[in-house]
Structure 1
Amino acid sequence: MHTLIICLSILALLLVIFEETIHINKAKSTLFLGCLCWLIFYIFPESGFSSEQISESLNENLLEIASLWLFLMSAMTFVAYLNSRGFISSIVQKALPSQVSEKALLIYLGLGSFVFSSLADNITATLVSVAVITQLKVPIKKQLKYAALVIFSVNSGGVSLITGDVTTLMIFLADKVTIVSLLQLIVPALAGVLSLAFLLSSNMSGHVTLHTNNKPIEFEDKIIGLIFLTTIAATLSLNVMFQVPPVLTFLFGLSIMFLCGHFLSLPESNENVLNYIRKIEFDTLLFFLGILLIVGALKKLHVLDHIALIYQHLPTSLANYLLGISSALVDNVPLTAAVLKANVTMRPDEWLSVTYAMGVGGSLLVIGSAAGIIAMSKIKGLSFISYLSMFLRLLIAYSVGYWLSVLIA
């Protein structure tokens, strides 16, 4: 059974890596294999594993997953509403000038993607930023530079706030970092983005004209947007002051959104406001569920303890740096979960460097993050090979941000 579950876990990883080749959604494959692992535990238990012990381990695994799921569901529902109403795209387009130099646009896109991905999910931040890129009348090589910066910035923006990236949230929920300590990553993450913008600015000397959106934002949407921002602020402050779990604050904010949707007499009925839950990316949530079930099964078998070996042979900072680079090939969610379950002993400042590495390392390859996959599907000419041509510049920017995070923390 031990060998079988390890083989199933490796198969799940391969199916995730080659999702674009085999055309099987990773949510389907990981959920199937994750549930199968635990079914095998129950039906063919190894000696020393009683059904009560297996149930206790499964319940512990499901409790961790539930906290992550409910938090993400709440945040994604807010974003689904604001995105469907055109609120987010209107804000972005109103913030951009109608005409700007190509180099200045690098800064605008980098900073905009960085800030937006801290507040919303990476998928929405990427879609909005890519929409700006696709309207640019510039050569494809320059579009690819903008796309690379957006992918890197979106992933960088999420590392300093638990609302910005799943891996950051996972590390926070495991009590490895605090909300206040995460704020220390803003400077190194921003330094990485600006470094990449500088490296990409060569041969960017022209000007571009941007499409402007004059559509007014509805009053009701402004209220919901304000509730969303207030919920984020309350989530951070209440956790710092009273140790309120973030999931509780976000669920409370979601309930206020639903009530306001009713009393503000939105064009849609209250029933439709509730239905925005159906617009969130459930395939993403199901993928997390499947992956975390697999990682929980591996933890039960103590397989993940072997990850700690890299920390026995290398300095912790170097080991974290290399794990971040490897997340470009292996999805950062299972890799982060594996590190958390491997019982690796690190100082709080070293967990901060892990947070940066896992969040940003996937940017080195276009297949290494959800932002890269989405951008590749939207921008003509963006492929694994074309993105690979910018690997060295991406690696330099990642290295700048990572080693600065080590120094600051």
Structure 2
Amino acid sequence: MLKIMLSMIFCSLAAFASSSASTTQIPDLTMTWIGFASLIIFVIGYYFVAAEEKYHIDKAKPALFIGTFIFILIAIYYALNDLNMDLVHTQAQHLILEIAEIFFFLFVAMTYIESLIHMNVFDRLKYNLVSKGFTYRKLFWATGFIAFFLSPIADNLTTALILSTVLITIEKDRRDFLVPGAINIVVAANAGGAWSPFGDITTLMAWTAKKGAFSDFLFLFPAAIVGYLITAFLLSRFVPNEVPVFDATKEKRPELGDGAKTIMGLGIFTIVCAVISHQVLHLPAMWGMMFGLALLKVYSYGLNRKYGKDHFNIFDSIAKIENNTLLFFFGILAAVGGLYFLGWLGLAAIVYDPSVLGPTWSNIGVGFLSAIVDNIPVMSAVLKASPDMGLEQWMLVTLTAGIGGSMISFGSAAGVGVMGKLHGIYTFGSHMKYAWTIVLGYFASIGVWYLQYQVLGIGH
């Protein structure tokens, strides 16, 4: 219920704003039946997204429904009232383009991850960790650091899913290891994703919206890692310093598939292509990613010729992509785009006015809102509202939206994913027991940002 109320409060901020943020061509429909109906549909739909585990309904279903239905209702309203239908068509086209850029970017990234899974790259990682004879505490730090540095490349959700599988492989019963370890992975994945355009959907959204160059996001590294290290240090105090049982006679060392190292190299080259496409060639970042996918397809053809068609099938990797994540992303951004088109979100920049909260406090608040509502719709709303801010403030909201979701278990995709992997162990209640460590890390990250950008002037 709290989640619903805050969603409504966030969306309703626009009702008290002036209409200066909207273009004169698009009518403000917030106080009409279509405005209220769309807002109610969004709130109800988002309730089912948030209550995914309660109703056992995939979050993509309500998200896709509200995203498509809201725009259909808007088109019907325009037709009934003889309004300019070209506005609906243009808005839908712009929204499709915006979503497609990120949709195909994630599509390629997920394909590479599934290809590496097929090649046993992550199974080898699991084996190497559990076979070293590390204590639970050392494994806690190892999985955390891997999550922090893997997330900027593989994205926070994929990283969290992979490493939570590692946790449950190491130990299935010790909650005093599993719960802090799960929180550690979620925090590390979200913090690692905050300083890379590839690490989180929110940073990817900010980058593709041209709120900063690729290198600008890298300046968030000090704030991200300091906040993570403080949380991890506090959490590690609760982890047992014992060695888990490992039977080398029963565990066989996984062998990497032929071509695995080349696919890893192609993945890195694909990221370079995406950066060059966006920063140098002024093409969408997904153009470079799709070129990387083409290279992977060509390489898979060579592997099939050499080792047989069953060795590596690129289409098998594509088939294993989590399409529900992509469809959720499409639906939620379409819904937020609809609310913006009606006038609800485009005026929310009022809270950024210095006479209200101002950009710094508003952006700090975004982190807490992200934990409750989810960072994707919150970041989408901020980008749609597009308040007049400098680069340092756009970097702050990218940081807070990315790491703020860690404060509650379901506040980020990484947290939701780990809850699914460690069902009944990593829960809302078990997370909140240690939430104070995450809040301290959150404010430490903001402190580093303030020192770096506002005091020292580094990163402008």
Q: Shorter-normalised TM-score: what interval?
A: over 0.9
Contact residue 57 and residue 300 of structure 1 kept, 8 A: yes
Aligned-partner Cα distance in 1 for 2:238–2:195? 32
TM-score by length of 2: 0.84
Taking a change above 3 Å as real, the CA distance of residues 330 and 80 of structure 1, as seen in their structure-2 partners, is same
Aligned-partner Cα distance in 2 for 1:241–1:336? 26
Q: What is the Cα deviation at residue 268 of structure 1?
A: 3.3
Q: Which amino acid aligns with 1:176?
A: K
Partner residue of 1:197? 232
Percent of residue pairs identical: 29
Aligned-partner Cα distance in 2 for 1:95–1:234? 32
Taking a change above 3 Å as real, the CA distance of residues 194 and 93 of structure 1, as seen in their structure-2 partners, is farther
Aligned-partner Cα distance in 1 for 2:302–2:321? 23
Aligned-partner Cα distance in 1 for 2:315–2:385? 39
Partner residue of 2:212? 177
> Structure 1 residue aligned with 2:74, among 13, 37, 41?
41
Partner residue of 1:367? 410
Partner residue of 1:383? 427
CA RMSD of aligned residues (A): 2.1
Residues 237-276 of structure 1: matches in 2 within 5 Å? 237-265=276-304, 266-268=307-309, 272-276=313-317
Partner residue of 2:331? 290
User: What SS does the aligned partner of 2:199 have?
Assistant: coil
Partner residue of 1:53? 87
2:46 is equivalent to residue 13 of structure 1: yes
Aligned-partner Cα distance in 1 for 2:217–2:243? 36
Contact residue 156 and residue 360 of structure 1 kept, 8 A: yes
Taking a change above 3 Å as real, the CA distance of residues 97 and 244 of structure 1, as seen in their structure-2 partners, is farther
Q: CA offsets per residue over residues 21-43 of structure 1, 9 Å max, x none?
A: 12222211111111111111222
Taking a change above 3 Å as real, the CA distance of residues 14 and 32 of structure 1, as seen in their structure-2 partners, is same
Instruction: Report which stretch shifted further, 206-215 or 284-293.
Output: 206-215
Q: Which amino acid aligns with 1:166?
A: I
Aligned-partner Cα distance in 2 for 1:101–1:272? 38
User: What SS does the aligned partner of 2:170 have?
Assistant: coil
Residues 10-409 of structure 1: matches in 2 within 5 Å? 10-45=43-78, 47=81, 49-94=83-128, 98-137=132-171, 139-204=174-239, 206-209=241-244, 214-265=253-304, 266-268=307-309, 272-312=313-353, 313-379=356-422, 380-409=424-453
User: What SS does the aligned partner of 1:135 have?
Assistant: helix
Q: Which amino acid aligns with 1:368?
A: G
Q: What is the Cα deviation at residue 269 of structure 1?
A: 5.2
Aligned-partner Cα distance in 2 for 1:401–1:274? 41
Aligned-partner Cα distance in 2 for 1:135–1:117? 20
Partner residue of 2:15? none
- What runs of 5+ residues in structure 2 fail to find an aligned partner? 1-33, 454-460
Rg (Cα) greater in structure: 2
User: What SS does the aligned partner of 1:376 have?
Assistant: helix
Contact residue 370 and residue 411 of structure 2 kept, 8 A: yes
Q: Which amino acid aligns with 1:399?
A: F
Taking a change above 3 Å as real, the CA distance of residues 348 and 361 of structure 1, as seen in their structure-2 partners, is same
Q: Which amino acid aligns with 1:303?
A: W
Q: What is the Cα deviation at residue 89 of structure 1?
A: 2.8
Aligned-partner Cα distance in 2 for 1:262–1:241? 30
User: What SS does the aligned partner of 1:305 have?
Assistant: coil
Q: CA offsets per residue over residues 239-297 of structure 1, 9 Å max, x none?
A: 44444431111100000001100012354359932232111111011111111111111
Aligned-partner Cα distance in 1 for 2:312–2:77? 46
Contact residue 261 and residue 270 of structure 1 kept, 8 A: no
Aligned-partner Cα distance in 2 for 1:59–1:159? 29
Taking a change above 3 Å as real, the CA distance of residues 343 and 25 of structure 1, as seen in their structure-2 partners, is same
Contact residue 196 and residue 218 of structure 2 kept, 8 A: yes
TM-score by length of 1: 0.94
Instruction: Report which stretch shifted further, 255-264 or 10-19.
Output: 10-19
Q: What is the Cα deviation at residue 196 of structure 1?
A: 1.1
Instruction: Report which stretch shifted further, 369-378 or 343-352.
Output: 369-378
Number of equivalent positions: 409
Instruction: Report which stretch shifted further, 39-48 or 370-379.
Output: 39-48
Taking a change above 3 Å as real, the CA distance of residues 276 and 344 of structure 1, as seen in their structure-2 partners, is same
Contact residue 110 and residue 194 of structure 1 kept, 8 A: no
Aligned-partner Cα distance in 2 for 1:205–1:91? 22
Taking a change above 3 Å as real, the CA distance of residues 299 and 204 of structure 1, as seen in their structure-2 partners, is closer
Q: What is the Cα deviation at residue 92 of structure 1?
A: 5.0
Q: Which amino acid aligns with 2:273?
A: A
Aligned-partner Cα distance in 2 for 1:315–1:213? 57
Q: What is the Cα deviation at residue 331 of structure 1?
A: 1.5
Q: Which amino acid aligns with 1:357?
A: T
Contact residue 99 and residue 333 of structure 2 kept, 8 A: yes
Taking a change above 3 Å as real, the CA distance of residues 50 and 76 of structure 1, as seen in their structure-2 partners, is same
